[in-house]
Structure 1
Amino acid sequence: MTNLIDAIDQRGLIRDSYVIEGIMPGECRSIFLDWALFEDHDMPQAERIKTLLAHYGPKNPDHPMTAVLHAALEDAAPPKRRGGRAGRVG
């Protein structure tokens, strides 16, 4: 699993965020955005996030990066269809 984590987080941004003492949620969001925009990988991003959560989340359930990763998965969910006029007009 460590080799997969190293491949997903090649620059170690996510790994390092978990060892920075006193890191704040805003800093974690910034680190995550940097990771999401610049990490190049064949695996879909949602799968990479799930893998990172499976690796880091259980040992760090209250860490702000864990919360950021969970939020990223929620934001990545496909939009729900809205029917009727609201769906056509917006």
Structure 2
Amino acid sequence: MARDKDPIDPKGLIREAFRIDGISAPECRSIFVDWALSVKADDHAPLIQTLLSRHEDVPDAHPMKQVLQEGLAAKPANVRRGGRAARFTES
């Protein structure tokens, strides 16, 4: 029987990360990046919040939970400015 795809975790990466015993923080970061690239969203924060809510019963010390919290707190990089705005800084 085929499982319906979860639009928030289509590959099941986050779900599986929480199931892996002894998973490390670097492994969780790698999984998080793969997840973020696989989900089409302009703003991942609401999706991350939903994932944290789904796994609220997991201890806070779990590395995947910590990575999700870091992802929620991370500020997106500045957008590249082109043309004249890129050549002149604001005073």
- TM-score between both structures, scaled by the size of structure 1: 0.72
CA-CA distance at 1:76 after TM superposition? 2.8
Match of 2:52 in 1: 53
Root-mean-square deviation (CA), in Å? 2.7
Match of 2:12 in 1: 12
Structure 1 Cα separation of the partners of residues 46 and 68 of structure 2: 11
Give unmatched runs, 5+ long, in structure 1.
80-87
Match of 2:64 in 1: 65
Match of 1:40 in 2: 40
Match of 1:85 in 2: none
Structure 1 Cα separation of the partners of residues 33 and 23 of structure 2: 15
Instruction: Name the amino acid aligned to 1:57.
Output: E
CA-CA distance at 1:77 after TM superposition? 6.6
Residues matched between the structures, number:
77
Structure 2 Cα separation of the partners of residues 44 and 58 of structure 1: 25
Structure 1 Cα separation of the partners of residues 77 and 39 of structure 2: 22
Structure 1 counterpart SS, 2:27: helix
Identity of aligned residues (%): 41
- TM-score between both structures, scaled by the size of structure 2: 0.71
